[in-house]
Amino acid sequence: MSEVKTRARPQALFLTASAEARIAALMAKAPEGAVGVKLSTPRRGCSGLAYSVDFVTEAKPFDEKIETPGGTLYVDGGSVLYLIGSTMDWVEDDFAAGFVFNNPNAKGSCGCGESFTV
């Protein structure tokens, strides 16, 4: 009987050092009971989907779990397909600060960059 070989599952999301540092900073001042932060893509905005990062108190069974040096990032199980291969970064300048996503699955976005479509 031959051995069945399966290929490795692609990583759902890549994080820059800056994004990992921001997750660590968030977890350092997280509310009591928070087990990590969660990235999801709720339906909103003029293009259909938006990125949302929130504290979570429990992991859901289908969430993707990404361990970082400063805490755990969960990716919503229903959002993983929209995010595979994406890079999550934290960017700060004189006017704004926030997570920025380079998403190869996005086919378009609204003019303000708040939402995207796949």
CB 52 within 8 A of CB 39: yes
Structure confidence by residue, pLDDT tens digits, 66-79:
999 989 999 999 88
The pLDDT of residue 63: 93
Here the tokens at position 4 are 């069945």
Residues paired with 56 in a beta bridge: 36
Structure confidence by residue, pLDDT tens digits, 28-60:
999 999 999 999 888 765 557 888 899 999 989
**Residue positions counted in the chain:** 118
Per-residue H/E/C for the chain:
CCCCCCCCCCCCEEECHHHHHHHHHHHHCCCCCCCEEEEECCECCCCCEECEEEEECCCCCCCEEEEECCEEEEECCCCHHHHCCEEEEEEECCCCEEEEEECCCCCEECCCCCEEEC
CB 62 within 8 A of CB 11: no
Structure confidence by residue, pLDDT tens digits, 84-101:
889 999 999 888 888 888
